[in-house]
Structure 1
Amino acid sequence: MSATRFAFYGRVSTEDNQDPESSRAWQLTRSRALIEPRGGVIVAEFFDVDKSRSIPWQRRPQASALLTELRNPDRDFQAVVIGEPHRAFYGNQYGLTFPLFEHFGVPLWVPEVGGPIDSSNEAHDLVMSVFGGMSKGERNRIKIRVRTAMSAQAQVEGRFLGGRPPYGYRLVDAGPHPNPAKAADGRRMHRLELDPFASAVVARIFADFLAGYGLFAIAERLTREGILCPSAHDPARNRHSSGVAWSKGAVRAILTNPRYTGYQVWNRQRKDEVLIDIDDVGLGHTTKLRWNPQDKWIWSDAPAHPPIVSREDFEAVQEALASRGHRYTDKTVRRSRHYYQLRSLLRCGICGRRMQGEWNNEMPYYRCRFPQEYALANHVTHPRNVYVRERDITPKLEQWLARLFTPWNIERTLDQMVGAHGGPAPAAQESELLKRQLAESDRKLGQHRAALEAGADPVIVAGWMREEQSHRSELERRLRRLPAARSARMDRDALAASLRKLGDLVDVLRDARPSRKAKIYAELGLELTYYPSQRKVLVAVTSNQDSIGSECVSEVGLEPIDYLLGSCDSPWLDIS
């Protein structure tokens, strides 16, 4: 009798320092101990690494691949074995997943029932449901223990609990880690120490605000005087920011950070798990950071590091900021929620920043507001405000997409898309060159900071750093605008089938609500750049296309294909 061929599924999370190889090995051992005495052999493996158990199967890469393979009538395996249900199922995931195994006639084996799960056996269903609940309870207990421990460490010990040090401080060694196991691995404790230059800037910001200066006024004064903003002062820890000029947000973040009082403050933010789609709870949750009210903050019992401002001054600043907030009265107009179809997709062609949605005259607009000091720091000539109406862009964009998906254009589109993969993309070579230039710029900025700490003239060094940072920002802008490098050659037949499915997309866009269109544009990976002097919009595709077809566009048959929009006659939309 021939052996039964099995696929193995397992999962490991590395957030608690588990070794993926060791975890995979013992889960495989447990699976083989179940199936080999009955003539089973594992012929395929699906093992998710660094994926939380709370993530549904459809969003775990390997679990999703296994579910996809169930649909393949020519699959290599006849059954699936899971060595540890605790790691595979969480909450109600078993109830949402097992019906797929039943539908495709693939038995699911687990050690806890001694073989394949029998859906008609109530005991089997009860056991698997209990394991899902236990898995959820275990994760919740770990979260409670960790948060309670961190709260005590912050309040009683005033311990620095990780993350980037606030602007005005720097990290210094504070001895070996108190956990013996971590200390044996060479882990060290850290504490905050004053940064002589930046701490003086922080003190000045608080003093200026208490003297009556506004956030914009403080930001523009600092930029005008050539004082480096936080991301330029420490670019190694702030690669996500351009570091060209001070912003209103940076000033506000400093004024609202209570750690400048010398106390350690923890739990200013929390992680909330919110449903991805309230109409499809099976998609699970996503984690969002949200601010806690001040009565939830955990303050250390005693000062934990050198203060920059007094606690009295900090409280006075918070009262002043609160008094400038929005105060609703009977005459306050409550605005209804508006949907912007191009939200987060439209950039200003002058400065490269994302344009903000604004409702005006009962219709959506997009605006790029650029303070004069930012323009000077960026070496660009930028109007104070750039406006464009949404209705000037979206009809032209729909026509552009319609031309791409017409049946008589598909063959030419395919030729261009497949031909683009025949050799190394020129953009990839330019990308590598720009990355090397960015690394060299970072090295120079590091030298300038070292010179500043060694006692060089701050005014001269600030000029050097401002010039180098401007050069670095230009390199980053050029890198962002490059088309993504493509390595794998695309299969023409698969592309043809997928593009033909997209024919319905034009009809969907024509009849869809604004909120629906916004989701479709985002799923397509569109990125638009508006050039006000020409009254034209450049259409491009973002390099990250992992999410295409995952939620919204999949409803009209869209497949996750790269470079889908690269075959149109012209990427320019004339909106004049």
Structure 2
Amino acid sequence: MDSLFGPPIDLAGLPNFARVESRPRRTVFCGRVSTKDQQNPSSSIPRQVSLAAQRLKDGEEFAGHFWDVESGMLPPESRGLGPQEMYDALHVKTPRDGGLQDLLDRAELLGVTHVLAERSDRVARAMLTSLTVEHELQKIGVEVVYANEPIGGTESGRLRTRRYGQVEAELFRTAMLEMSMGGQVQHAINGWNHGIPPYPYIAVVDKDAPPPAPGRFGEARPKKKLVPHADPRRFDASRELCRLRREEHLKAADIIAILSADRSRYPIEGRWTHNRVEGLIANPKLTGYQVYNRKASRTGRPGFSRWNPISQWVWSPRPAHDAVVSLEEWKAAQEVTAGLRANAPDGPLLRIRAAAGRRGLTVTVVEKTGSHTRYRIGGRLVVMPDPVPDAVAQQVIEELENAA
């Protein structure tokens, strides 16, 4: 910016009167739309280009176009990960040389001097992210310009306008998250399912759900509720693995051995794994209640979800589908899991299973009564009180060890 207090005579002819740029001006466009469903990229991106182009110099054109179809709540490293085929299918006339992270990675190599965007929330809705992007580009001599900022005036005025815009973007982001969370909470309270149905269930469209609001933009996803899987063995398998944890205090490896030994009784696609077993035991949806907010998926680390405290979970006020276990049984299983993770002492039945395992045998439940349980240990049937006393457990273990 030239000084407002010039020399008393004309010095424009001197060699150092005006600053000569050490590198030619090279300007690129930066843009974003939230999702292909909530906004129309084929109209929004060209509109953003048109507005940003008003800040180009006379005769100048964009040297590149970097834009994403991603949420502005994501950090740069999580943006632009969609395949090129997805972008081609959007039929956006504006060319795409990459996304925001590509711009940050290649700006210096491409000799970029200016980045133009319609406004700051097209970079990111989180103020820290947009500030970080500006800072990283500034370090390599790249100026970020937003088309909605005033031309001329003081630097403090321009900066005030920019920061106000970034604050508004973050406030909008927070308000959207609050409204979205409120909608998801009501979704769960009404008994509708989030995510992939647990092993013993399938999700079906709730025909009694109210129709979507008229004039809603984007595709409305149907409300779904959980119903038992067509294969009733899945309910039985889920009930049994929960019982093995709750009553026999078995670890996942022991439960997997029991389930895998009788695949006709405990069917599974692929194989039983530690994550499948522990995930089912910990899943509160097996109680018949619909539960939401067990995980925080937006942690800033791609592919990483953090478990929320149980106090933050959202439960439907009443059962929403058929239960595999009762609430009391589910709670007891979680207490046993906590004890196992704290290296609690092994129970009598667990010692029997360990002794059988050393001989290559598995222990499975055949029949339960009110006070006793019949087990199959290899080819033998053994009836033991429930719970198993230490003396009985020791007798069975000695018989296993002395067997020929």
**Residue 46 of structure 1: which of 50, 63, 66 is its match?**
66
Contact 1:171/1:191 (<8 A) preserved: yes
1:11 aligns with 2:11: no
Name the aligned partner's letter for residue 283 of structure 2: N
**Aligned mates of 2:73, 2:339 — CA distance in 1:** 44
User: What is the distance in 2 between the residues matched to 1:228 and 1:115?
Assistant: 74
Runs of at least 5 residues in structure 2 that lack an aligned partner in the other structure: 1-24, 81-97, 345-356, 362-404
Q: Residues 239 and 325 of structure 2 are in contact (CA less than 8 Å); yes or no, is this contact kept in structure 1?
A: yes
Q: Write out aligned runs for 1:56-455 (5 A).
A: 56=76, 62-72=99-109, 75=111, 79-89=114-124, 90-98=126-134, 107-115=143-151, 121-155=155-189, 157-160=190-193, 162-175=194-207, 178-180=211-213, 185=219, 187-195=221-229, 196-212=232-248, 214-215=250-251, 216-227=253-264, 232=269, 243-244=270-271, 246-271=272-297, 273=299, 288-326=304-342
Structure 1 pair 169–29 and aligned structure 2 pair: CA distance change class (3 A): same
CA contact (8 A) 2:234 2:266 kept: no
Task: Provide the rounded CA distance (Å) in 2 between the counterparts of 1:27 and 1:262.
Answer: 48
Change (3 A) 1:97 1:213: closer
SS at match of 2:67: strand
Q: Which residue, out of 27, 39, 44, partners 1:23?
A: 44
1:34/1:115 contact within 8 Å kept:
no
CA distance in 1, matches of 2:157, 2:131: 14
Paired amino acid for 2:327: R
Taking structure 1 as the reference length, what is the TM-score of the superposition?
Answer: 0.46
**By how many angstroms is 1:142 displaced?**
1.2
Q: Larger RCO: Structure 1 or Structure 2 (Cα < 8 Å, ≥ 6 residues apart)?
A: 2
**C-alpha separation in 2, matches of 1:210 and 1:57:** 43
State the 4+ residue runs in structure 1 displaced beyond 6 angstroms. Answer: 57-60
Q: What's the secondary structure of 2:64's corresponding residue?
A: strand
Q: Is the 8 A contact 2:212 2:220 kept in 1?
A: no
Q: CA deviation at 1:230?
A: 7.2
Task: Tell me the SS of whatever aligns to 1:71.
Answer: helix
% identical equivalent positions: 24
**SS, match of residue 304 in structure 1:** coil
**Contact 2:70/2:79, CA 8 A, preserved across alignment:** no
Secondary structure (helix, strand or coil) at the match of 1:313 reads helix
Taking a change above 3 Å as real, the CA distance of residues 99 and 199 of structure 1, as seen in their structure-2 partners, is closer
**Alpha-carbon RMSD:** 3.8
Normalised by the size of structure 2, how large is the TM-score?
0.63
Alignment gaps of 5+ in structure 1 = 233-242, 275-284, 329-371, 377-576
Deviation digits for residues 242-267 of structure 1 (CA, Å, limit 9, x no counterpart): x23x2344333222222111111112
> Residues 203 and 309 of structure 1 are in contact (CA less than 8 Å); yes or no, is this contact kept in structure 2?
yes
Deviations 1:50-107 (A, max 9, x none): 25344148976533443455434x74x7643211222114414454444566566555
Superposition deviation, residue 291 in structure 1: 1.7
How many residues matched?
A: 303
User: One-letter code of the match for 2:30?
Assistant: Y
Give the residue type in structure 2 aligned to 1:71.
Answer: E
